Each structure stands twice: as structure tokens, then as C-alpha cells.
Amino acid sequence: MAEQFGVNHESLRQLAKQEGIVLRPWGQRITPTEQRLTPEQLEEVLALLSAGTSLRQVARQYAMSRESLRRLVKELKEEGQ
């Protein structure tokens, strides 16, 4: 994005920080599934699973594979969410 606007990437990061935008650590990658689901959707996924909805049903509802959902839930639990 910085390149598109002709500014230094570090200047853009500092501006985002000043505006209160939380950025992930430099170099940390996010999975395509995480890019696609909002934080609210992630909370809803966890709530559905906690309520006993099957992994298959939740994955179908969010148009993702069961394996992707399983991995995402595992990562979220490891992070303590």
C-alpha cells in the first residue's frame, strides 16, 4: 500500500499507530481464512462450536473446509481466545 501512495512503509506504520490502528507484528502472516473472517465471525464460530454445532455445519455456514476450520479453532485456542 505504501508503494501505491509513494510513501515509506515505516511512515505508513507510524501513521496507523498514531490513529490507533492495531497492526500485526512485522512479518507475521495471516491465513486466507483469517483474512476472510471478521473478528465477530470468529467469535460466532467459537460460540456455535461451544453450543454443540458440528464442525461440518459451521464450516458449511462459513463456506470453508472442515480442515481449515479445525486448524483455525486450534490456533485460536492456543492463543487463548
Domain boundaries, the chain: 1-27, 31-81
Instruction: For residues 54 and 51, give the distance between their C-alpha atoms in angstroms, rounded to a whole number.
Output: 9
- Give the pLDDT confidence score for residue 17 in this predicted structure: 83
CA–CA separation, 40 vs 28, rounded Å? Answer: 21
pTM: 0.55
Residue 32 confidence (pLDDT): 59
The pLDDT assigned to 33 comes to: 57
Alpha-helical (H) ranges within 19-65 are 32-36, 39-50, 55-61
